[in-house]
Amino acid sequence: MEENKPTYWELFAAKHQRELTAQEQALFEKYRGEYPEDWDSSLKIKGGLDALSEISAPNQNKSWQSIQGRIQTTKIRRITFSTFKYAAIVLVSLLVGYLLKNQIKPMPAQQYAEVEVMYGQMGHLFLFDGTEVWLDSGSKLKYPSQFNQREREVILEGEGFFKVAKNKDVPFKVKTQRLEVEVLGTSFNVSSYDDDGKVAVVLEEGSVRLNWPGGEEITTIKPGEMAELDSTADKLAIKKVDTKYYTDWKDGTLEFRDEPLGDIAKKLERWYNVDVIIEDPALVEYKITGTVLRNKPVQQIIQVFEFLAPIRTEYLSKPSQKDIIKIAKK
């Protein structure tokens, strides 16, 4: 898709807000015909917005308590990814924003939303300050209903790419379990999966400062650099990298260069919601270079791997649980 061409979910959202241009209207009609089920899902979400608009002012506090309870029990993800697989959550962002910011008047305590992206899926949303966020499979993002005047703070588990809206007076902070990333306005990727044993920050443009969880500054990095923290030893290493190998996942491409098969297996597990079993331990560190397109079946992907490495693969379908990919030495 062209860089500035709107996705069909963005067009659906604009249609509900009556903001389509004549050119976008034609594109909307095309997408509605191609994705009728997702259009029906968007109508259900719009119906929820319309219902919320009927909350009367005297009952807003009581209504918010009821809505808050539902958000906490569903963690929002059930509204998003159980309804439309692989969809960018533009419409859900509208719904959450409506609940947390526009419809509800100031509350004494800060309210938070949490978006969880299941394995085999990917998320895309806009925060209230205009910051654009992509979430990779198996990730969670927690963010407040509105940022305060001192800082914009979100909490990430997993992997996310952030295109931060510039505000020189209010820094934007991404907190992970082991590291804090602080910026004013920039584009960067953060990977912080628990089972990886490391936190990696790749800077595409701008400048970021890395802090310990308590706020103590560690260092700053420049565009084209990656800072990697070994979570077990608290050792930080900085090196020059080609950023596309760490950020192209948000565009549906997984690129790797001299990457261990064991690390690639973890990414395939998250992207395709499968279990990968490497039967020969010697293969875990075998280096592979290649590209995976997310819209291709995983069975096709592993067949390509047999040409890139001395391996043979077996795909086992499990109807009531995760499918299994077995990798063995030829």
CATH fit for domain 112-246, picks 2.60.120.1440, 3.40.50.300, 2.60.40.1840, 3.10.150.10: 2.60.120.1440
The stretches of 18-156 forming alpha helices (DSSP H) are 22-34, 36-52, 60-74, 77-80, 90-97
Fold of 252-329: Phage tail protein beta-alpha-beta fold (3.55.50)
What is the structure's pLDDT at 26? 78
pTM score: 0.67
d(CA 233, CA 31): 50
What is the structure's pLDDT at 38? 67
Distance of CA 222 to the CA centre of its chain: 23
Task: Please list the rounded mean pLDDT of every run of 10 residues in the chain (330 residues).
Answer: 52 64 76 74 60 44 45 38 40 49 52 90 90 95 88 95 92 94 92 92 94 91 94 87 92 88 92 94 92 86 87 91 93
Domain with CATH 2.60.120.1440 in the chain: 112-246
- Please, which residues have CB within 8 angstroms of residue 17's CB and are 6 or more apart in sequence? 94
Domain with CATH 3.55.50.30 in the chain: 252-329
| Burial label, 195 (beta-carbon count in 10 A; 0-12, 13-18, 19+) | exposed
| Burial label, 109 (beta-carbon count in 10 A; 0-12, 13-18, 19+) | exposed
What is the structure's pLDDT at 42? 65
- Return the DSSP state at 320: T
Question: Strand, coil or helix: what is 195?
Answer: helix
Question: Strand, coil or helix: what is 84?
Answer: coil
| 259: nearest Cα among 241, 285, 279 | 285
What is the structure's pLDDT at 147? 87
| Burial label, 203 (beta-carbon count in 10 A; 0-12, 13-18, 19+) | buried
What are the E-state strand segments in 96-178? 112-117, 123-126, 132-135, 139-144, 152-163, 172-175
What is the structure's pLDDT at 44? 61
